[in-house]
Every structure is written in C-alpha cells, then in structure tokens.
Structure 1
Amino acid sequence: MAAGLVISAPASGVGKTTLTLALARAWRHRGLNVQCFKSGPDYIDPAFHAAATGRASVNVDSWAMDRGTILHLVSRGRDADIVLAEGSMGLFDGVAARGVCGTGATADIAEMLGWPVLLVIDPSGQAQTAAAIAAGLRDYRPGVRLAGVVLNRVASPRHEDLVRRALVDAGIAVFGALPRHAEISLPKRHLGLVQAEEQAEIGKLVDEAARFVAEHVDLDAVLRSAAGWSPQPAASGLNVVPPGQRIALARDAAFSFIYPHMLEAWRAAGAEILPFSPLADETPHASADVCWLPGGYPELHAGRIASNARFRDGLRAFAETRPVHGECGGYMVLGTALIDADGIRHEMTGLLGLETSFAKRRMHLGYRLAALAAPMPGHRSGARLRGHEFHYSTIVAQPDTPLAVVHDATGAVIAETGSQRGYVSGTFFHLIAEDR
C-alpha cells in the first residue's frame, strides 16, 4: 500500500519545490519508490520531480479536471512506497468561481484524496506568529488534515526554538527546521524556475538538497505521517483526443511547456509523437499529419528563430496541406512578428497575423474556458476547452478570425481569443482538458 502526502505552504516562494525534491531523492536513496504529482497548472515542476524520482510526474487540477480524471492520473502511484503531491501557491489559494470539481486549490486535492498536508513555513521576520499561521491553516477547512510542519530559512537556533515551542504548544508537529542554505536555491526566470533540462547540474543540486534535508528533518516521522492509500480504479480516464495520428511536436528550450498528461494521453490513444527542434533549424517530419508548437521561451530565442530559415520555410510548407496549432509561445511564433524585451522586432513564421511584444511587460495569468468557434486539431467547433494562460507579452495585432470565445475563471470575456487562418490555429492558453 502506498502512502500519500501533500506538500503545501501559506504562500508561493516558501520552498515547496525544494523540499519536495529533497524528500523524494532522500527516500529514493533509502531504496523507496517515490511518485510525485503537481497540483495546479504548472508545466515546469513535473520535470524536476522526474529528475528527483526517476518516475514521470503529471499535473492534477481540480478546476480543469473532473474527479475521474484526477483519480486516473494519481493511480500511477499505486506501486510506489510514498506519493508526494506538491501544491501551488498557498494551501487554499484558488479562483473565486468553482470549476469542474473545485477552485484549483491544493486543498481540493488533499481533501479529495484524503492525504494529510505537510506545511512548509518560512518564519523570516517573525517567531510565534508562524504558529498562529499554521494553526489557522490547520483549522480553516475541516476536510483538510495537517500532518505537521517543516520550517525553512530559520535565522538561528534561538529563532528555531521560539517558533518550534509555539508550534508544539499549538499541537502542531514540527518535523524539522532548515537553516538558510544558498547552495540549494533553484535558479528562476520570469515564468518560474529555469527548466530542469536546462540545468546540467540538476542531479547534484537535488542530491545536495536531499543531504541537507536529511540532516535537518526527521524523514521517518514525515513518512509515518503520510496516509495509507489504496487507489481504486477510476470510473473514467482522460478525456483527451490526440490532434492527429502522427504528431510533429516542437520540443527544445524554446518549446517545452506542454502538460505531461497530454502527451501520455496522445500516446495512450495510439498517436505517435515525432519531436523536432526549431532552435536546431529542423522542420516537422514529412510523415506527420499535424504539427503542434507548445509554449516555452521563444522571447529568449527570438533572434535565432527568426534566422532559422529552414524551420520557417518548412513549417510554412507543412501548413499548406496539414493542420498546425500553437499554444502561447508557439502561437506567437506562428504570428508575423515578436518584439523582444529590448524593443527589437523579429520576424516569425507569418502563418497568422498575430504580433506580440515583450517591450512593455504585462502579466497575463489565470485559468481559461474557451468555447471553440472553429475546429482545431483534436477538437470540434463548439467544444469547451479548459486551460491556463501565463505570459508577459502584449498583443500588438491579432487580425485573424477568432478561434474561440474565451472566458477567465470569473466568467469575464477576455481579448485573447486565439486565431485561425486556413489550416493554422493558435491560443494563448495551454490546454489541460476538454469538458466531457
């Protein structure tokens, strides 16, 4: 029987990912099989989980996915010794309006699965108040159970003692306290952590984090706090139709933001994925019947993409006879031009009229519900798609036929409608699931 545990915190930036990776690697060093998941729409963290555990990690999302889909995804942990679900933002942070089976909050997943929550608390600038915060989180929602706390970035032994005593007095278990340790800080950029595949030393970094956490955290006590869990077969699996039988998938440092469960669902449905690298000036495979450009960081590589004539000409030729779809950064590359943060205009593929700019940064962040006004690969006109948008670009021009009517999580209509022209389509949101 596996044991399940949710790792969460009062807020973002407290150290959830580092602790998750460290615990996973430390237990793996002890010979345990560890399975990780990511609660919420984060497409970067699952790759770190896989690097730490040697097992693929996927996202589970209560706003975009139904209960059957979530149970189907977590059932992959049935042969693990310990299953860790890393949360997003703070424990109860979600959107105001309920989605398919929740608000997207980590607490939804903890309650649904019956897994207790290990809180990461950063008591910087406070002492006993940290216990009040932990107690408030413990008591906020009856269906969510607190396992205990790991303190992160404690300033001194005296600081740790003050916080630890207050937590114990509040009836909250303290599994350990981590002093500040800059050597295990994960590098970041504007959309989150620098991707795992871009970090040559990621293995050493995770090993150091595991050593450090094992030195300061009672790993046995944390393991005992996890809930015994025997996953039941889900009544339904993933509601995902592959966009084609042979899918040319852009895959490199500029095109990597696609949810792992989507790729798995495509393969499970019998599709073959044919990766190619636009940064290496490669073209979609000639035998492919559809091309998919996921998001990523095209703004960091815009000059190189603009100069890769073989890629651009090959994609244009492909789009004359077969469907091409782009998400977020992929959508931008399908457009006419991308203006980078320095104000330099780079020619993109010109398959759509979209022009975007990073010269004046504006964050676009949140869940999206799209009703398709035209078909796109894998989805009929009228389909309701759920996804998530996160980027810092602004629209200079979006002249083509709108692909969808898009709402945010509050139900408000937004301007990022996506576009469609001929065989080519694109959206600013990253697809998570289609409503059944």
Structure 2
Amino acid sequence: MTTRQVSEARSYPFSEPERLESEPLFRTLRQEEPLSRVRLPYGEPAWLATRYEDVKMVLGDPRFSRAASVGRDEPRMRAHLPPPGNILSMDPPDHSRLRRLVTKAFTVRSVERLRPRAQEIADGLVDAMQAKGAPADLVADFALPLPITVICELLGVPYEDRADFRLWSDAFLSTTKFPPEQVAEYVERMRTYMAGLIAQRREEPTDDLLGAMTLARDNDDRLSEEELLSLAQALLVAGHETTASQIPNFVYVLLTHPEELAELRADLGRVPQAVEELMRYVPLGIGAGIARYALEDIELGGVLVRAGEPVLPALASANRDESVFTDPDRIDFSRDEASHIGFGHGAHHCLGAPLARMELQVALETLLRRLPGLRFADADVEWKDGLATRGPVVLPVDWDR
C-alpha cells in the first residue's frame, strides 16, 4: 500500500461558495492529498475523497455503507439527521426493495411519455413571460413552476400547495437559513401534509404515483408506514429541487460564456450534450455528498480507511478531475470522455435522473428557441444563502422582442 502524508482535519467546506465557481483547493488535493481529513459543521470527522476513481469507488463499492450511518453522528452540513426510514440511509436489499416500488415511473421510457406534457408546460410559461413582458425572473417565472408542475402531476400532489412544500423543501436543505427548531417544525408539517394525502388515497384510490405507493403499503406490505411517508417526502423534494436549481444555473453559465451560448444557439440539436456537460461543470452542492461508512479496512487514495470511518465523496471535485477530463475547467459540448457523476453512481444513483435530464433538455431548448437574444436584465442576480444547494433565487432576464 502507498502511504500518503495526511494533514490535520480541515474545516469543510474550505471556503464560502462563490456563485458557481469550483472550490480552488480541490485541484491541490486531487494532486497531493486525494484523501484528506475534514470536519463539517456537524457530526464526526471524516475522510474527503476528491479524485474521480476514488469517489466512484466510495459510491459504488458495497464495502462502503449508508446503512452503517444509522445511529451515528454522521458528518453533515445541517443540524438535523436524516429521518427514520429514509431511502438514502439504506443499503441493498432494503434500498433495492423501496427503489423498485417507484422505478417504473422514472425509467427513460416512462419519462419520455411525459416529455410532451413538460413541453406544453414550458411553452405555457414562456407565453406568460412574453405576455407580461421583460424583464422576467427566470426562477419564479420558469425554473420553479416547470419541475414543480411535473412532479405534482406525477405524484398526485395539489399544485396549489406549492408555496408550502417549496418552503418545506428549503427547510430540508437548510444549513443556516432556518434555525434547527424551525427546520424541525417545517419537516413535521410536511410529514403531516403527506400523511393526509396518503389517507385520502386510502379513502379514494388514485392512479398517480402516491396512490400506487399507498397500495403497495396496504395490499402488498412491501414497505412500512414510516418508509412510505419518508419516500413520498423524498420524491416531492428531490423531484423538483435539482431541476429548479439547475435551470437557472445552466442559463447563468451560458450567459457568462457567450461563445458556448452562440454554439448552442446555432444548433439546438446539441442541447442533450450540453445538459450532460453542464451537469459535469456546475457544482450544485455547497459541500460533498452523503457520507459512506467503511465496513472493513479499505485502501483508498493511498490511505488505509479503517472499518467504521466515514468517507465523503466530493462529486464536484471528481467532475473536474484532470486525470479523467481534458481541460476540465472548460465547457466542451463535444466532450467524449468518462461519464460525469453529477447524478451520483452506484446503488444510490439518482432515481430521478431521467426525469431531470428530460426537464433540463426541454427547458434549455425552449428558452433558446422561444426567447431570442436571451440575456441578463439590468438588475442584480440574487443567490441562495444558507442552503445546501447553490443557485440564483432571482435571475432577471431580458430578450429581443
């Protein structure tokens, strides 16, 4: 085994996130200390993996466990621990059992059947933006309502309640935006809300995804009540949050890279490639991924990780690994190298990745086609603060009329 010199635990994140800039220290760590010791705002110290291959190993090797985090003070950005029955705190076969219940709704084939409806929603939102006139807030007027409408219709959640569950979603992702007691209050409100929707389906069965999950709980006994509630909440939050953040993130990056924007405008057929490259390029989270615990002594990045020690996979660093991606800090829509891991890897690879990809493709293509000359308006971009994800909360835009 190669033995590397390991520094004392650093406070992590290493610096305040600067808009969508990559963490500067990641490059040095990949080259000199690919597995380093860190201490997050909450929880026990951990190892941080920064190289692509090491991150993929942590995410994909069954010797690294999520279930082993239960009952531990796991390293994390937020004060609150994951709720009981959370699919993200499970390993196969329990994780596989829950995932199978909803996988059919998120296959590429199933998602493609939703594309015409997503396109209809996107066009309707642009119609409203044009009718109201520029400038518009791309976040409030387009990026939020598109994925929220889609996931509401898929799950069977009333769209008119979106303001409430958007607030609850922020509470789930809060690092410093809300005090811990308020986070707990909002999380409980969301739990009560979802429990009410499930109770409605027991009275009057529905053919939406929430109805199917309730049926699986009551008739087939394939998940517990706690698992049902937790899974429903996770799908509602994750089902819109990534896309709602990445639409304005992608537009912001394109508007600050005029050559790449012109290239995409000239050939909208390249939008799917652009979505993949932007998923690699844009660091969505302000920290690393969720910790995995070593089930045995494992060599990783030239260091021996002892059984019971947590390792954090830095996806944003892995996606900029110069040993894997040529000129990784440059946007290249023709890139033909290793797959990015913006949606994760292994058993916990994002269940909703096909849905997010489709929505992002529809969003970019629609905005570039329907709003010629899309550009920043003469107003400040406002950025998220105190949340685990990055992105604008207000993105003023203008276009040619």
TM-score (norm 2): 0.23
Higher radius of gyration, 1 or 2:
1
Higher strand share: 1
Q: Which has the higher contact order (CA 8 A, sep 6+)?
A: 2
